[in-house]
Amino acid sequence: MKKLFLGVMLTAFTLSIYSCRETTEENTTIEEVETDVESTYDEAESEVEEAAEEVETEVETEVEGTDEV
């Protein structure tokens, strides 16, 4: 009886997981991928520029503070 109950539970669990898989297909065009890559690149470029400006400002501040001779 235990084996039958466990078998039914295993089957129900397996079917519940199997039925949850995604069945829709997405077709992605090259233009969509290109647009996504370009926007990501632009965001990264602006972040790098901002970080470089922050570092440059901090370095200038430190250099000006240590000019005491």
Q: HSE (CB half, 13 Å, CA atoms) of 39?
A: 6
Mean predicted confidence (pLDDT) in 5-22 = 75
pTM score of the predicted model: 0.46
pLDDT digits (tens, 9 = 90+) for 22-44: 666 677 788 888 888 888 888 89
DSSP 19: T
Cα distances (angstroms) measured from residue 27 to each of 30, 40, 58? 10, 20, 47
